[in-house]
Amino acid sequence: MTRVPMPKRSAGQDRPAATVAPSILSADFARLAEECKRMVDLGADWLHVDVMDGHFVPNLTIGAPVVASLRKHTDAFLDCHLMVSNPEQWVKDFAKAGADMFTFHLEAAAGPGPDDWHALSPDTANQTVVDMCRGIKAAHMHVGIAIKPSTPPELVAPYVAEGLVDMVLVMTVEPGFGGQSFMPQAVAKAAFLRNKFPDLNIQVDGGLAPNTIDRAAEAGANVIVAGSAVFGAADPAAVMKTLKSSVSAAASSGKPAH
């Protein structure tokens, strides 16, 4: 059984419940368990874990052993974003480590070549990607698919339509490093997905802060990842409250995503 249920859409809302997931990439890794507890105590709904292999993206961070160690110190929802070239080889390790969500990149799962994703179709599901989703579910984790800023959102639609995906992550920066500037044009993908799938959890990650959150909220996002904006704030609780309030207000406004 998966450990924690996904956010659901309530009556009168245009999306599932607002969820804030601070990225622990911006935490003090020497005090990681303490930092994570602090964020949860201050109002974090999830903890976002950025896993990078130095190959799919030009950075190297943490892996399943750190997740396993962290799981011993928290019951929080561990939202693991794998920016790795061969995500299928890590499913069992992250399940064993205690991950709640396993989000892989559509571009990485589509084939062994870095440009193989260009052959994906918005009308037909790719069997390799389907098998990835089913494997993650079989390992009792929620399934997330991430797309880079240049990847059309139409390409992820077949997997959502088939009920294989619990969340789509729309990157609003190029994946690889924290602290990058928000790319406002990328949130249009969230609007496309929200209009098509009202019950889908849509996560945005990259440059989210109090001065950029409204664009993401208006586009239909409900799961907000923020790293430096939260961990670097004098009052992280206030920042998380602002992020969540923006999403909640947009969800109940009745305004269509755009």
How confident is the model over 54-101, as pLDDT tens digits?
998 988 999 999 999 999 999 999 999 999 999 999 999 999 999 999
Which is catalytic among the residues 50, 53, 100, 166? 50
* Residue 152 phi, psi (nearest 5): -65, 135
Give the residue-averaged pLDDT of 213-225. 96
Does 228 belong to an annotated binding site?
yes
Domain residue ranges in the chain: 19-251
pLDDT at residue 179 is higher than 80: no
Its pTM stands at 0.94
Quick one: pLDDT at residue 256?
Answer: 46
Quick check: is 115 catalytic? no
Classified by CATH at the fold level, domain 19-251 comes out as TIM Barrel (3.20.20)
Quick check: is 50 catalytic? yes
The pLDDT confidence band at residue 119, using thresholds 50, 70 and 90, is confident
- 165: which 2 tokens? 């995906």
Does 69 belong to an annotated binding site?
no
